[in-house]
Amino acid sequence: MPRLKTFQAHLGFFDTVVAARSQKAALQAWGSRQNLFRDGTAKPASDPDAIALALAKPGVVLKRLAGSKDAFSEQPPPPKPTRSHRAKPVARKPPDRSKLEAAEHALAQLKQERQTMRGDFERREKSLRAEQRKREQDVESRQNELEHEIASQRKRFRKAVKTRS
């Protein structure tokens, strides 16, 4: 039987150890596609207790929570919540809606202002269209009078030219 070596690596939340024939076999046990030995994530194991546990279960990845002094095992216990993670009873009061309500009120006012503004513009446009029609009629009437005057003056002029000749 080939001689086993033990390797350790820090992976995620865990420190791990595995007994394998080679670095390649250790990488396979950890399920890694990259060479963890190259970047220093993995290295030969140095803890005598970890080495003994790994050699007792060749090819099995043993874990413990990163940084702990617990023994390595196949299923390490979950981390214990620290004081800062424990739920603290909090006296809850209803959230303050005043800023939300103020913003909603401001939006409603703005929409009303827009409606008023549009109504004002529509009335002004209607008034301007009526004024334009009136002025167009006045210009048309004056133009007709001037065209009639020109026609009349042209007739007189031709008559006067004929009588002189």
pLDDT at 80 over 60: yes
Q: What is the pLDDT of residues 112-134, one digit of tens each?
A: 999 999 999 999 999 999 999 99
Average pLDDT over residues 74-85: 72
pTM of the model: 0.49
State the Cα–Cα distance between residues 26 and 9, nearest whole angstrom. Answer: 10
Amino acid identity of residue 138, one-letter, is D
Rounded percentage of the chain residues whose pLDDT exceeds 90: 67
